[in-house]
Amino acid sequence: AAVPEETRRGHVLEISNLGQVTLFAGGGKYGLRQLVTHTPSEHAIGGERADLEIQLVHHRIHGGGPGDDDDDGAESLVVSLLFSTKSAKAPPPFLATLAAAVPEVGRGEGSRHAEVRGLSLKDVAHQLAPHLRSYFRYQGSLTHPPCSEGVAWFVVSDPLGITGAQLAALREVEGSNARPLQSLNGRQVRYVP
């Protein structure tokens, strides 16, 4: 099995080689491609950004999926988790593993890669599952170039915890790498409690 790999592309950390994960939503079938981090968050709830956003980016798998011809047309699906040092929730353990691997990719421009030992997608999924029940859903675009439309967003509504040290480690490499908040431009946002 491939070991998860952390890549710094400019000021964005991406985790790839996460294993085979398939998600079914809106009649479509999606495969997990990467985990991307942003400081601060690229989404705001009640006008307030969280300290960190982790986006689990999935891309559509064409052919053979249940309801393959009956989906909402989204080519990508992103499950987005917000993290705050103010949250009363304990940080999920995988954040410590992620933060510890950050020094391996260094700082500055350009791409660098490092293996992230001890990061299991199965463990990450188990740690996050209890927090995925309440979310906001909307159709939008990717938040990084080429900012393509056709993305189904699921933004978890209640931020999880992160320690100051974990946040500092991520910011050391990333800096502030979130795009400015975007207007809704007529998009419908649905809350699922």
Q: What angle, rounded to 10 degrees, do the helices at 121-128 and 94-101 form?
A: 130
Could you give the CA distance from residue 16 to residue 51 in angstroms, rounded to a whole number? 22
Query: pLDDT per residue over 16-45, tens digit each?
Result: 666 677 788 888 888 888 788 899 999 999
CA 168 to chain centre: 18
Tell me what pLDDT residue 71 has. Answer: 46
Does residue 66 carry a pLDDT above 60? no
The pLDDT score that the predictor gives to residue 8 is: 45
Beta strand pairing status for 135-141 and 149-156? antiparallel
Cα–Cα distance measured from residue 182 to residue 127, given in angstroms and rounded to the nearest whole number: 30
CA distance 190 to 18: 29
